[in-house]
Structure 1
Amino acid sequence: MTTQHILAIDQGTSGTKAVVVDLGDSGAGRIAALAEVSLRPQYLAGGGVEQDPEALFDSVVTAGRRALAQAGVAVSAVALANQGETVLAWDRGTGRALTPAIVWQDRRAESLCAALADSADSVARRTGLVCDPYFSAPKMAWIRANLTREGVVTTTDTWLAHRLCGAFVTDASTASRSLLIDLDTVAWDDGLLALFGLTGEPLPDIVGSDEIIGSTDLFGPTLPVAGLIVDQQAALLAESCLEPGSAKCTYGTGAFLLAQLGGEPVRSTSGLTTSVAWRLRGRTSYCVDGQVYTAASAVRWAVDLGLVPSADQIDSAAAESSDGVLCVPALAGLAAPWWDSAASAAFSGMTLSSGRGNLVRALLEGIAAQVTALTDLVTADLGRPLTRLRVDGGLTQSAALMQAQADLTRIPVDVYPSLHATALGAAACAGLALEPGAAVADIMGTWTPRHTYEPLWSDDRAAEFMHRWRRAADMVLSQSDSPREPTP
């Protein structure tokens, strides 16, 4: 394809990253510049998690301008990856935010979901998702019931796109995370809107990730805006998970495992969710996914508590062995397959000889164990085992965590060579928008793992650990009437 640079914005929970990506033939996927602006969500009593929308928007503009100044090259478009399920109310006329951004981790819509328990199976069949506050619609309904009836209520990507170029759109992958679309048609569903009390709400147009939605001059030169996509799906694309059965896990604020399904929206039978991977070239691809709510946020908790000096010292702070200590890092509840927002974190197996390093090692093994529980369920849904796991995100720099992941999943773990998979995936989508003749499979070229971790534990040792860990996970489940049990 023609040599061109893309400004890719990865707007995440803990910060916004702006990357200038070279998509030319000689440097496909090369990072020409990088700028980051940190954000710190506010964690509230009662399970609330909020962000300041203006700080969020300012971080997008500031990071983008810094990256462009650093790169010193002309760019052809702006791409935008988003958090997926973070929502807010805003004034469509002025673009002004009317509420805080209610982050995907927020659990305050739990009672609303509980009231819809009788409709849970129907919702799952129609949407591929579970009726849980993690997804957009419950939080949208919560905003309407508790904060404001004014303006429109949407995911953050729609608001950001409007602020950038005046469009009122969302992409198919983000829409599929809302609990408001029919997964087979990828269209807004009036019955689901009624179920969540959102009848009559203005909803954005659903577009493909390779569509140009407008233009912006907020970064200096007037640039087309394209490449809208959920952050996790962007990483799935960057890591070339194009064939059914290929899978990746991103270790960010949470950990997110996605496996490619191709063109068939197969519903999970094991507590995972099915959503749109992307709509490119007029074709919709689907993925099955599972979520771990706390990964890097669990490490940050350990740093704040004094268990670890800083996040980049997690490996040196970890002992060689957990020495029997187990950790279930459910600091924000448990997602798939338990879907228990009231589950709590726990360390167990401690004795007077247990030290700080044992707890740190147990925390890392606990994150890896949750991801392993998800890989087991993906295997059940696919009908065949995963043969490799591609991984990306900041925590892939922890050799201790990555080795634990390989040891527990019993498959090689390939570390993506860039820490910016989400931005690269969004850039690829924008590149496809600019080059109608380019093929999806060719847009990012090939990549070689930065490191591959091979399993070192025996099968028996891994199985025994996971058996003990699952028992520990059962113990932290809330005493609700019918918590979703994990698959043995």
Structure 2
Amino acid sequence: MTGPVLAVDQGTSGTKALVICPERGVLGTGFAAVRPRPMPGGLVEVDPAELYDSVVEAGRRALAEAGEPVVALGLANQGETVLAWDPATGRPLTDALVWQDRRAATVCAELAPFGEELQHLTGLPLDPYFAAPKMAWIRRHLTREGVVTTSDTWLVHRLTGAYVTDAATAGRTQLLDLDRTRWSPRALDLYGLSGERLPEVVDNAGHVGTTTAFGAEIPLTGLAVDQQAALLAQHITGPGGAKCTYGTGAFLLAHTGDTPRRGGSGLVSCVAWRLVGETGYCLDGQVYTAASAVRWLTDLGVLKGAADLDTVGATVPDSGGVTFVPALAGLAAPWWRGDLRGSLTGLGLDTGPGHLVRALCEGIAAQVAALADAAAQDLGAPLETLRVDGGLTRSALLMQTQADLLQRPVEVSALPDATALGVGALARLGAEPGLSVADALPDWKPAAVHEPRVGADEAAGRLAAFRGAVAALLDQAPA
């Protein structure tokens, strides 16, 4: 296929767009900010119009910078963000409940007796992080009108008029039968959503429709949830490899082949992608607050921004005995305690900004190390290396801390925008049937490799201190 593609990654705090040419690389980039509204009680909302406007604005900026037409469009989405909307007009009927929103905890509490059944059926634990509890909450408390879907379905409908979701995004709802990759009547019944008109579940690559939102008519041929798109871009297309994306949260995914793994480690089992009707699966672990925890320190005046992590952290040799569990939106995998709040312990009059920064880096890295251990437990073999991407990978301090605590090499992607690159590859696959996955993917090489600089005993001691702080939080809070 000749010609570049437009790849759009609609994320939590903004939308990034790339124009990608298979021979010449990235020809144009665009970004548009999104401002989710955190509110008391763990609520997080965003104006749906802001999501759509950011897609159009970022896409147009990337196209303007590239200065040449594209042959296809790929769209990645946040995964578990949901809203109700009118399918006749496309008009939103509610604000969008962002994936971090915890208000559907009441729905999950009611369904607790069916938690194991739902997890076996869908691969997902009962938690308000996922889409189905939010969908049920909207139906109970906000509106019975229109349809209630994940944000990707609404965006695709606005762009093309189609009413679809891809298999990987559908797998983030807790309404998809994991083995069959189709909607589960039993899960729908448990959530009280049996009468809903749900979107068609389609492959991640294929012709969905066409859009003129960016100017000239462009076919939409690639769809994915953000983390699975990044997994693809990191060339992890079979068992044995894992990647972690450090964005608003941190998300570790390990490929498990053509069979879902339902282990007891606390990780999520979900669809990696479905291509030409064939489904690949992955294990997925989440850290709810990564860059959002850095932003929290910034708002307190400890940092000027994420670019300051290394500078401020370099003012001290270690965390000075400070332990930070950055559960500012609860603890996700493998604990699944979204009700917990974070903790900062070991403070003294000698504690300075550098200690807080190092403790935050250690807290994020320790959670990712816990996810890697859980993945190794479910896979029956340790992960050899970890490939990483996302904005926070620019921090050498965080990446070195990660390698030290993992006791494994950490390979930093040369391009931080892995999600957009992954959905760009899917767009190329959808526009050119018969193209192999390997040929659709951009070349991969690390910009840096961080090897562990501390011994196993020191790493174990630091991880034990973090686990002790988590245990103290678990002891304090009722389940």
TM-score by length of 2: 0.98
Match of 1:404 in 2: 401
The unaligned stretches of length 5 or more in structure 2 are none
> Which residue identity is paired with 1:354?
T
Worse-matched range after superposition: 188-197 or 441-450 = 441-450
Among 197, 204, 213, the alignment partner of 2:208 is: 213
Matched, 1:233 2:232: no
Matched, 1:7 2:6: yes
Matched, 1:353 2:344: no
> Which residue identity is paired with 2:366?
A
Shift of 1:320: 2.7
Match of 2:181 in 1: 186
- State the SS of the aligned residue for 2:207: coil
Match of 1:392 in 2: 389
Shift of 1:194: 1.0
Q: 5 Å matches for 1:409-420?
A: 409-420=406-417
- Tell me how far apart the structure 2 counterparts of residues 350 and 315 of structure 1 sit (CA, whole Å): 21
Among 454, 466, 475, the alignment partner of 1:469 is: 466
Shift of 1:171: 0.1
- The answer as to whether partners of 1:294 and 1:331 remain within 8 angstroms in 2 is yes
Shift of 1:478: 7.0
- Tell me how far apart the structure 2 counterparts of residues 445 and 289 of structure 1 sit (CA, whole Å): 23
Q: 5 Å matches for 1:10-409?
A: 10-23=9-22, 26-27=23-24, 30-318=25-313, 319-409=316-406
- The answer as to whether partners of 1:340 and 1:478 remain within 8 angstroms in 2 is no
Shift of 1:479: 5.0
- State the SS of the aligned residue for 1:334: coil
- Tell me how far apart the structure 2 counterparts of residues 20 and 13 of structure 1 sit (CA, whole Å): 21
1:411-463 residue CA offsets vs partner (Å, 9 max, x unmatched): 00000110110000001001001111211122114311000000001000000
1:68-99 residue CA offsets vs partner (Å, 9 max, x unmatched): 11110110011100000000000000000111
- Tell me how far apart the structure 2 counterparts of residues 478 and 97 of structure 1 sit (CA, whole Å): 42
- The answer as to whether partners of 1:7 and 1:18 remain within 8 angstroms in 2 is yes
- State the SS of the aligned residue for 1:477: helix
Matched positions, count: 477
- The answer as to whether partners of 1:82 and 1:229 remain within 8 angstroms in 2 is yes
User: CA RMSD for the aligned pairs?
Assistant: 1.0
- State the SS of the aligned residue for 1:415: strand
Worse-matched range after superposition: 382-391 or 142-151 = 142-151
- The answer as to whether partners of 2:252 and 2:285 remain within 8 angstroms in 1 is yes
Match of 1:486 in 2: none
- The answer as to whether partners of 1:342 and 1:477 remain within 8 angstroms in 2 is no
> Which residue identity is paired with 1:322?
S
> Which residue identity is paired with 1:309?
K
Worse-matched range after superposition: 360-369 or 307-316 = 307-316
- The answer as to whether partners of 1:344 and 1:477 remain within 8 angstroms in 2 is no
- The answer as to whether partners of 2:340 and 2:477 remain within 8 angstroms in 1 is no
TM-score by length of 1: 0.96
1:332-388 residue CA offsets vs partner (Å, 9 max, x unmatched): 000001111111111111222211210111011100011011001001000000000
- Tell me how far apart the structure 2 counterparts of residues 445 and 252 of structure 1 sit (CA, whole Å): 21
- The answer as to whether partners of 1:104 and 1:136 remain within 8 angstroms in 2 is yes
- Tell me how far apart the structure 1 counterparts of residues 352 and 442 of structure 2 sit (CA, whole Å): 46
- The answer as to whether partners of 1:89 and 1:99 remain within 8 angstroms in 2 is yes
Shift of 1:312: 1.2
1:138-169 residue CA offsets vs partner (Å, 9 max, x unmatched): 00011111111111000000000000000000
> Which residue identity is paired with 2:400?
Q
- The answer as to whether partners of 2:425 and 2:442 remain within 8 angstroms in 1 is no
- Tell me how far apart the structure 2 counterparts of residues 265 and 14 of structure 1 sit (CA, whole Å): 31
- State the SS of the aligned residue for 2:148: strand
> Which residue identity is paired with 2:164?
V
- Tell me how far apart the structure 2 counterparts of residues 123 and 45 of structure 1 sit (CA, whole Å): 29
- The answer as to whether partners of 1:343 and 1:478 remain within 8 angstroms in 2 is no
- State the SS of the aligned residue for 2:41: helix
- State the SS of the aligned residue for 1:224: strand
Runs of 4+ in 1 over 6 A off after TM superposition: none
- State the SS of the aligned residue for 2:16: strand
1:308-329 residue CA offsets vs partner (Å, 9 max, x unmatched): 1222111111133101111100
The unaligned stretches of length 5 or more in structure 1 are 484-488
Shift of 1:133: 0.3
